[in-house]
Structure 1
Amino acid sequence: METKHSEYLKLKSVYLKPVKEAFVSEEQLESQWEELNYLGKPDFNESLNEYNAFKSIFGKKKITMHSFPFNKSVKMDSIYCRDASIATDFGMIICNMGKGGRIEEPTAQKDIFITSNAEILGEIVTPGTLEGGDVAWLDKNTLAVGHTYRTNMEGIRQLKALLEPNGIEVIVAELPHYKGKEDVFHLMSILSPIDKDLAVVYSPLMPIHFRNELLNKGFQLIEVPDAEFESMGCNVLAIAPRECVMVSGNPKTKALLKAAGCSVYEYEGKEISVKGGGGPTCLTRPILREA
């Protein structure tokens, strides 16, 4: 049996936006990185090397990879392909981006889904905004969504209207201002479920009510230390229960994962992850998992 209602079951197929189709060239990076609020300009050749190593993890695990192609209407941020859509068992939900420079990404993804005959459940429309990095499946009947500068209450209302008639409970996490409107701060900046009862979290920025919801659902919480939050220690992609991918350079979080019985695969992400604020969950749009 296959499902889309999971962040942690065995990954069967995933969409990626290859770095060469998103970053395109040194010239495109030079023209876009500042306006999109990257920490620095990624090096194009180093980005290719990092991305090849990242993709090799999926190849070794025999996960089917699909690619979003080059599209001239989108910018370098399109490499973080989780954000433009949400996978559900009832069809894809097409998002509406809260970051202005990414406004064309959902339509570009929708075109690919239609071409591949994927079912579309619905779309988030203006004035609603919703980004995929702000949602995470906690279990097959529960989706968490962050109220952030990227995802507004109207977007959440539309999300609930699509999912609640199908028996899905939508839990809202009210996230803090933190660094403000221009920063990349999604729900999955502070939460990565990696098994039915295990999640990586950064509690200092987690709402008390939402954190208690996780504990009430039986989650054990792996607490990312302060020193590893900015280096994306909390952004962990599960490719199977307690089998996960993370950005290298977070040894304390890695040790905590291993102590909890997890297998950990690392990739160097200085160019493709840290500079743009997008770890392995952001770089992927998981489609099918094995229930």
Structure 2
Amino acid sequence: MTGFNEYGKIRRIAIRPPAASFENDDKITSQWQALRFHSRPDYSDAVKEYDAFRDILAQGGASIIDLPGGEALTLDAIYTRDALLATPGGLILCHMGRASRRGEPAVNARVLEQAGEKILGEISAPGTMEGGDFIWLDETTCAVGRGPRTNDEGIRQLKSLLGEDTEVHVVPLPAPDDAEDVFHLMSMISPLDRDLALIYRPLMPESFLTWLEGRGIGFVDVPEEEFLPMGCNVLALGPRDLVMLDRLPETKKRLEEAGCRVQTYKGDEISRKGEGGPTCLTRPLDRCPSSLAKE
């Protein structure tokens, strides 16, 4: 039985290491500025950081699929969340809002289909959709962010693929300062358990907060000073069993006070420079269902 939520114990997950995304120093040098990385990633340090991050995933018991590289992929391909959605009917290939990333979904889907994953369908132009704008609350309820990377036509197609039995709550997102910058739904919320989420309250629409509260979900608030350093980007390995970037002490303290176990990783090269935290680096494929989330 497969779970569609963001907090059940991860049983299967897809990732793409630096050897298949950054590849080498020449590729990094040629792309990092055009892709609006904050500074040039160091390849050897990125490999070390990623190995430590991967070890955390492996120690959690997840079966890991390492995705390959390819000519159609940029440095951004390290952020595997965005290219595909995992749903009860199979994987949905996204049509990325960022044009330079549109080669990723087909590459990822081909490998995962060979590994036994079903393909449900795809989002087609003029629709756009990115995985960072989508979260499952449980097996029949999800939220999708409408913003610079996911548009109304993409959401219409998503609803059609998911079917009438799935409730889709649409969340309006604020526009980033630059059209090429990223602001996803998961930039301001990370589910931690069936009844708990980490949020950055100042950017959360009141209607979204009310909807979540109506579903019995409480909140841990990210402090202002830790929002831009990606304090809100936290991956649940299981219920209240979390991975987050290091050097975010107040957010970590608040999570632990809420009964969470928190592991941290150094992500200067693989996360901070490209603005992609632990949720962005991973595409969970199989979690325990919400009714069995602690198994």
Q: TM-score range by the shorter chain?
A: over 0.9
Q: Which residue of 2 aligns with 1:240?
A: 238
Cα shift readout 1:131-158 (whole Å, capped 9, x = no counterpart): 0000001122111000010001000000
CA contact (8 A) 1:164 1:170 kept: no
Range with greater deviation from structure 2 (243-252 or 109-118): 109-118
Q: CA deviation at 1:113?
A: 2.4
Structure 2 residue identity aligned to 1:276? G
Q: CA deviation at 1:19?
A: 1.3
1:207 to 205, 208, 211: 205
Q: Structure 2 regions of 5+ residues with no counterpart?
A: 290-295
Q: TM-score, with normalisation over the residues of structure 1?
A: 0.97
Q: Structure 1 regions of 5+ residues with no counterpart?
A: none
Cα shift readout 1:35-75 (whole Å, capped 9, x = no counterpart): 11111111111101110110010121221100111111111
CA contact (8 A) 2:73 2:103 kept: yes
Q: CA deviation at 1:180?
A: 3.4
Q: Which residue of 2 aligns with 1:110?
A: 109
Cα shift readout 1:236-278 (whole Å, capped 9, x = no counterpart): 0001000010011111000010000000010001110011110
Q: Which residue of 2 aligns with 1:151?
A: 150
SS at match of 1:128: coil
SS at match of 1:2: coil
Cα distance in structure 2, aligned partners of 1:98 and 1:250: 29
Structure 1 residue identity aligned to 2:57? F
Q: Which residue of 1 aligns with 2:276?
A: 278
Moved >4 Å (runs of 4+): none
Cα shift readout 1:216-244 (whole Å, capped 9, x = no counterpart): 11111111011101111000000100001
Structure 2 residue identity aligned to 1:2? T
SS at match of 1:37: coil
SS at match of 2:236: strand
Identity in percent: 46
Structure 1 residue identity aligned to 2:217? F
Q: Which residue of 1 aligns with 2:184?
A: 186
CA contact (8 A) 1:93 1:120 kept: yes
Cα distance in structure 1, aligned partners of 2:134 and 2:172: 12
Q: Which residue of 1 aligns with 2:59?
A: 60
Matched ranges for 1:248-267 at <5 A: 248-267=246-265
SS at match of 1:70: coil
Structure 2 residue identity aligned to 1:202? Y
Cα distance in structure 1, aligned partners of 2:81 and 2:246: 20
Cα distance in structure 2, aligned partners of 1:256 and 1:164: 38
Structure 1 residue identity aligned to 2:121? G
Q: CA deviation at 1:2?
A: 2.7
Cα distance in structure 1, aligned partners of 2:8 and 2:250: 24
Q: Which residue of 2 aligns with 1:290?
A: 288
CA contact (8 A) 1:233 1:247 kept: yes
User: Is 1:85 equivalent to 2:84 in the alignment?
Assistant: yes
Cα distance in structure 1, aligned partners of 2:135 and 2:191: 8
SS at match of 2:163: helix
Structure 2 residue identity aligned to 1:72? E
Cα distance in structure 2, aligned partners of 1:75 and 1:97: 13
CA contact (8 A) 1:96 1:124 kept: yes
CA contact (8 A) 2:176 2:182 kept: no
After superposition, the Cα gap between the structure-2 partners of 1:274 and 1:264, relative to the gap in structure 1 and judged at 3 Å, is same
| Backbone CA RMSD of aligned residues | 1.0
Structure 2 residue identity aligned to 1:193? P
Structure 2 residue identity aligned to 1:213? W
Q: Which residue of 1 aligns with 2:217?
A: 219
